[in-house]
Structure 1
């Protein structure tokens, strides 16, 4: 598998929303734009994001890189993380 690119300001990524404790809303991938980079930690690259939701914008600071939702069990993905969009 090819190495992933390094995130930079302006790149499009996917943000994984948290969902709600009662299950009214599930975890979802949302389009997001990298607004700031913070280097890497033990889990991967850390970035700040402008998240594009159907009903508005959300700003998430210091999000760690996480697993993808697509092709995996959604309950296994951590809310509040980001990943590179899948190639289609």
Structure 2
């Protein structure tokens, strides 16, 4: 699930994993997440839409949000490197 984001970040020098983690930690609050990431809200919107394209998951759907949260937690438990904290 997060492998595609890790690959994208590695290839593009991006921060999509970190963006997703912050967005989920802020309970999908756009303004709070943008402030925490120190980016314009529209930049965050672009990044989230890109994350949705790459993962095939919608951050508007509770089930998909849960799946992504579980994927982060599973990677942490497994000690998988490349998952941004």
Q: TM-score, normalised by structure 2?
A: 0.28
Greater Cα radius of gyration, structure 1 or 2: 1
- Structure (1 or 2) with the greater helix fraction: 2
- Structure (1 or 2) with the greater strand fraction: 1
Q: Which has the higher contact order (CA 8 A, sep 6+)?
A: 2
